[in-house]
Amino acid sequence: MSSSAAILAIIGMGLATYATRLSGFYLLRGLNVSGPLKAALDALPPAVLMAVIAPVILTTGLAETIAAAITALAGFFRLPLAVTILIGIVSVVLLRWAFQPG
């Protein structure tokens, strides 16, 4: 893939992400978000994060599995999404380093 194709792909993905966010605001513009709906929407970021990393949990080694459990625990405690992601990244890096042979 050429660098211009990669840049176009990144821009396209960014636009698609932005359009998805805008459509959510548009669809919920007249709706008072509270109660169970608010709780469901608040639970989405950790759920999406777990859906993204679930294949890694099931198809890789012990370090990744433990790091995923640590990340899930961080999500369970409702830490901010960026903090949860950072905990997951640091966990997997440190555990891979700890479990490397030799």
Where residue 95 falls among pLDDT bands split at 50, 70, 90?
very high
One-letter amino acid identity for 10?
I
Residues 81, 87, 91, 94, Cα dihedral to 10°: 130
Do residues 66 and 95 make contact, with C-beta atoms less than 8 angstroms apart?
A: yes
Q: List, for residues 4-28, the tens digit of each pLDDT value.
A: 888 999 999 889 888 888 887 788 7
pTM: 0.52
Where residue 1 falls among pLDDT bands split at 50, 70, 90?
low
Helices (H), 1-102: 3-27, 35-59, 62-76, 81-99
Is 80 exceeded by the pLDDT of residue 85? yes
One-letter amino acid identity for 1?
M
Structure tokens at 61: 């080694």
